[in-house]
A and B are shown apart, each in its own frame.
Chain A
Amino acid sequence: MEKYLFVLRNSNKELLTYRFSLITEFMFSIIPITASSLLWISIYKMGSGNFHSYDLGDMLIYILVSRILATIILPSIHWDISEQIQSGDLSKYLILPISHMLFWFNKDLAKKIQSFAIGIFLLAVFIFLYSNYLTFSFKINWLGLFSIFFSSILYYLIYYFIASLAFKFVDVTSFFYTSEVIIEFLSGAIIPVVFFPNLLKSLNNLLPFQYLISFPINIWLGKIQYREIIYGLSVQFTWIFFLYFLCKISWKIGLKRYEGTGS
């Protein structure tokens, strides 16, 4: 375990060296958050009534938290891992006495920890700016925290699995873009999943994506009851379990195809 803590510490130091890059990345995320929150303010003011039990305050807090949460927990490991596979750089990790999956999990965790600090600051700024519209009172919700923890593991496993496709298809960058777009939308990072058409809602119920963003936020917003929360957490856990084995299998198959070209 100590070696993985070492990875975490080292990645943390590396990220601190390029802290300006991380801060700027967050600054860029302000633009779409501002634009979509202004859009929703106008929609609620010009239109009439609430959407699916979301009043303006709920919607604003949903948009702010979902976008910031997505920026924090969205992994970018798939880009690096696929590059390793393409360049043959993966070989050096294969001969090390470490788990590749845990190595990248800790590297990703370091980024999430630092992103969390910046994300909380940004969220506080937005809450202050929109305080006129918000009726949100902050209290620690342990089940909500659990679900965010589970969703970040789930997010990681999904992208770890996607990265393994680079064994089969050498250049999969376009597929990464496509999958990011689809996952972002289906997770509820753009609009709450209750807004989806019925057919899409039913389809989404069979997939793990709504448990990435929409589910944790709805726990914090008090939109779902205790029984549904427990059910949702168990679904999250089941998906983690399933995806863990799926990743193991896909990597095992992938490594058989791996030629280590260029290493």
Chain B
Amino acid sequence: MRIYFTIIYNYFAISLKKSSTYRLNFFLTLVDSLCWFSITILLYESIFSSLLLENGVTKNQIFLIVGISELIKSILFTLFIDNLPSITKQIRYGTLDKFILYPIDTQFMLSFQNINFANLISVVPSIILIGISVDKTNTLSILLFIVSIIFSIILAYSIWYIIMTMSIWFTKIDGIHESFLSLLTITQYPQQLIVNKYTPKITFIFLPVLLISNIPAQILNNGINLFLILTVFLFSLIFLLVSRFFWKFALNYYTSIN
């Protein structure tokens, strides 16, 4: 187990050095993150500035979910945006071989080899937005909120990894990770606005993705709810296990071309 911590530490150190070497790219990624954040806020402000919705969906609630979604997205992108999308390339060019040969877990190495620190910038405005949008909360709720955010990140990572694992069969699809990024946009929506009496029943398939941001929002706003914590914990655990089994199963079909 210790070796994994050492590897993680080294990956962090190398990525930090890379960021300082390619300063312009680092700076542009910062601008990109801030642009995304500003546009998302502008979008919801434009839609909801003159709108009151029934069923208890308030503007504050929407901005809380947007803030949480952006927070999760920035942490997720910091850790995985330079890793998971490149799995397709590793498979296509056969460079996955070297990862399989190392005496370290392949999924672990593929997931953490590059850290994109520039994406962390969105964490600050996200936390500010969450702080402004939350109605009332207490210390315990904040602690449980942090726990639920960790589970949500694990859940999102697992869904992303399951999608990327499909590259073993679909090597020619460059933008397979785009499907996950598309899914991620759904995390900005309150669950009540996607799954309700006005929308088709089939929308429940979006539920695992909606839980990523909606459960932490409910915990922060409504206080301690063990059922919600348990739900997000179980979902993240199940999806993480599925991602591991699916990856190991898919590796049986990997035909190295190197």
Contacts and interface: CB of A to CB of B under 8 A. Distances in A.
A32 B176 CA distance: 15
B189 interface: yes
Given A38-B203, A39-B194, A191-B43, A174 B189 contact: no
A34 to B, nearest CB: 8
A167 to B, nearest CB: 14
B185 A43 contact: no
Q: Is the interface of A mostly helix, strand, loop or mixed?
A: helix
Contacts of A42: 192-194, 196, 198-199
Interface in A176-190: 177-178, 181-182, 185, 190
A177 B179 CA distance: 16
A1 interface: no
Contact of B52 (A38, A47, A174, A191): A47
Given A31-B179, A47-B51, A195-B47, A41 B39 contact: no
B132 interface: no
Contacts, number: 109
Contact of B179 (A28, A39, A195): A28
Contact of B35 (A28, A51, A178): A178
B173 A182 contact: no
Interface residues of A, number: 39
Contacts of A31: 179, 182-183, 185-186
Interface in A229-244: none
B94 interface: no
A18 interface: yes
A169 B26 CA distance: 13
A178 B193 contact: no
Interface in A1-42: 18, 20-21, 24-25, 27-29, 31-32, 35-36, 38-39, 41-42
Given A28-B175, A38-B203, A174 B29 contact: yes
Interface string A167-211: 001011111011001100100001100011100100000000000
A20 B173 CA distance: 8
Given A21-B174, A43-B51, 8 more contacts: A25-B175, A29-B182, A39-B194, A42-B199, A46-B54, A46-B196, A175-B32, A182-B39
